[in-house]
Amino acid sequence: MQNTYSHFLHIAHQRPNLVLGILLQTQGSVPQVPGACALFENDELLTGTLGGGVLEAEAQALAPAVSLARISRIKTLHFNASVTDSGGAICGGTATFLLDADPHKSRQVFQAMQRSMDHQKNGVLISVIHLLDNDTCDIQRTWLEAAAGNQAFLNYGVDEAQINQAIQTHQALFIDQKNTKVFIEPICPRPQLIIVGAGHIGQALNQLAHSLDFDTTVLDNRAELLTEARFPNARLLKAASITTGFEQLTLTATSYIVITTQGHHADAEALKCCIHSNAAYIGMIGSRRKTALMRQNFIDQDWATSTDLDRVFAPIGLDIGSQTVPEIALSIAAQLVQIRRQQQQPVKPPQVGCLILAAGMSTRMKQQKLIMPYGSQSFVESIVEKAMASLAQKTLMVVGSDQKAVMAKVAHLQPALVYNRRYPEGMLSSVQCGVLALGDCEAIVILLGDQPMVTTATIDALISAWIKSKKGLVVPTFKGKRGHPVLIDMKYKQLIQKLNGNIGLKELFQKQKDDILEIEINSDDILKDIDTPEDYERTTI
């Protein structure tokens, strides 16, 4: 898709009669996905594709008339020919495509998009299609870098959530209205492929990478190998030492690094330069014996940990039984595509819930402390508001004693509520009640209603640490002392129901010592709670 727009910018000044075809919407079995695009000149397909077959043939046949009339058209095809119809398609799907009679009108928009791509910034290309007569239309385009909202397009039924959805899912969105249709197309920078080593494999891989839409840089200290004749499609040829070359490059989450130098010393030098980067892919050529020895050397020299090295694909490439240089390059290219597709899959965030314990009787305070003032709010308002602002997807409050008064304080925040009939039995009964109510969550952060000083940042730190470590119990500490709130993986939800009420959650932490992760918090607020009037006087202003 992006290549088609780039190609248009490259040739537009020489060819005034170009027609841009874009696949807008599909249903059923159709060979391409929305966003597929192609450039036509007269009845010739110059670049790109709408999927071939009947659909592309129809677009190609219409292109000369569209160009001559200078009127854009939008058309829907139904692929429901019978098996005896030699000219039709029988897959049963439908496809709607656009033929833009004057893409030159959007040239500045495409140029703005290209500038963003050159700076590794993504965004959405929004096409507003105004229907005229029958299937003719007028097209208005804009480029929005990243997910910035734009009030002008809200009038056409586009909101920021839809723009975000398109970017996060890497899927185009077609909004079909009566007289105006809107096409939101996510455009991402071409992934950066850094080939370290300009030998035969690097040369063969460069040719494949270009056709697979990678933006290639080739790095080698042998300047005589870095010629345009050998690497005609590379964006950058960098003749420098490996260390210097990497220092001059910016590695991002869309960087793919293939190490294929002339020897294992150079391979090791390249790996040291990128092992701690956030690159999407690091692969290194070599036998299993060579890669095993290098791995052990990196660990022995404290250059990397075992976890760091686990992300390196070595030996490199998919196992297709490759032996020749072209076959090895093909196996590497296939692995690059595999990882790129996996990276593009939308990642569903783990479901985390905040469980606020607000059922206690406040015996030592001699009044219900949760409704007492804390700054400009009450205790319970403060903690609910912070929980709802966190990374957690759900906030549930367990109520019991003085439930009506407590609920009234947070009614405007509308947290989910559950009543614990067993609240006189103590805190564990509220935890057990809340765990049952949050049964579809993967982890819960347990917050005490009398800790209004705890911050959203602390809650988020617990959640982030759990996601990265997958430890079952995450506890905040301040100068070595453990505090609250705590995060509990819901793999323990059944065990929680069996805990001794006289011991409480301490029993779980005692039994699962090896599954505890402590994270240091730069505040002693995690150690404080407010139980008595004296505590209240010391804590509040």
Separation of CA 77 from chain center: 34
Q: What is the Cβ-side half-sphere exposure of residue 402, based on CA atoms within 13 angstroms?
A: 17
SS3 of residue 54 by DSSP: helix
Please tell me the predicted confidence (pLDDT) of residue 541: 47
| Residue 481, strand partner residues | 478
| Residue 26, strand partner residues | 95
Tens of pLDDT along the chain (541 residues) come to 457 888 899 898 889 999 999 999 887 666 678 888 999 998 899 988 888 778 889 999 999 999 999 999 999 887 654 434 444 443 456 888 999 999 999 999 999 998 888 777 788 898 999 999 888 999 999 888 864 444 444 555 566 666 776 776 778 888 887 788 889 888 888 888 999 999 999 999 999 998 888 989 999 989 999 999 999 888 889 988 999 999 988 888 889 999 999 888 899 999 999 998 889 999 999 888 888 899 999 999 989 888 788 889 988 999 999 899 999 999 999 999 999 888 766 556 688 999 999 998 888 888 888 888 888 888 889 899 989 888 898 999 999 999 999 999 988 888 899 999 999 998 999 999 999 999 889 999 999 988 888 888 899 889 988 988 879 999 999 888 999 999 999 999 999 999 998 898 999 999 999 999 999 887 888 888 787 888 777 765 4
CA 13/CA 293 separation, integer angstroms: 56
Helices marked H in 281-321: 288-300, 306-310
The two tokens of residue 35 are 């966003």
The two tokens of residue 399 are 């109520």
Kindly report, residue by residue over 159-216, the tens digit of the pLDDT: 666 677 677 677 888 888 778 888 988 888 888 899 999 999 999 999 999 888 898 9
Cα–Cα distances in angstroms (integers) from residue 1 to residues 252, 350, 442, in the given order: 22, 32, 38
CA 3/CA 48 separation, integer angstroms: 8
Say yes or no: do domains 192-344 and 352-539 share a fold.
no
The set of residues, in sequence order, having a beta carbon less than 8 Å from that of 67 and lying 6+ positions away, is 17, 18, 19, 40, 41, 42, 101
The two tokens of residue 36 are 């597929």
Using an 8 Å Cβ cutoff, are 191 and 209 in contact?
Answer: no
> Which of the following CATH numbers is that of domain 192-344: 2.40.50.220, 3.40.50.720, 3.90.1640.30, 3.30.430.20?
3.40.50.720
The two tokens of residue 82 are 């019978």
Domain ranges of the chain: 2-187, 192-344, 352-539
Query: How many separate helices (H) and strands (E) can be counted in the chain?
Result: 18, 25
Using an 8 Å Cβ cutoff, are 96 and 76 in contact?
Answer: yes
Q: Which of 502, 511, 443, 430 is nearest to 472 (CA)?
A: 443
DSSP state of 156: T
Using an 8 Å Cβ cutoff, are 141 and 123 in contact?
Answer: no
Residue with tokens 């490759």: 322
Using an 8 Å Cβ cutoff, are 106 and 19 in contact?
Answer: no
Q: Which of 382, 500, 502, 508 is nearest to 449 (CA)?
A: 382
CA 282/CA 276 separation, integer angstroms: 10
Please tell me the predicted confidence (pLDDT) of residue 523: 83
End-to-end CA distance of the chain, in Å?
60
Residue with tokens 């703005």: 112
CA 124/CA 412 separation, integer angstroms: 36
Amino acid at 430: S
The C-alpha R_g of the chain, in whole angstroms, comes to 30
Using an 8 Å Cβ cutoff, are 129 and 74 in contact?
Answer: yes
366 Rama sector, left if φ>0, alpha if ψ -120 to 50, beta otherwise: left
Phi, psi of 458 (to 5 degrees): -65, -45
> Which of the following CATH numbers is that of domain 352-539: 1.10.1740.10, 3.40.50.150, 3.90.550.10, 3.30.1490.20?
3.90.550.10
Q: Which of 41, 43, 59, 40 is nearest to 51 (CA)?
A: 59
Amino acid at 396: L
Using an 8 Å Cβ cutoff, are 437 and 421 in contact?
Answer: no
SS3 of residue 519 by DSSP: strand
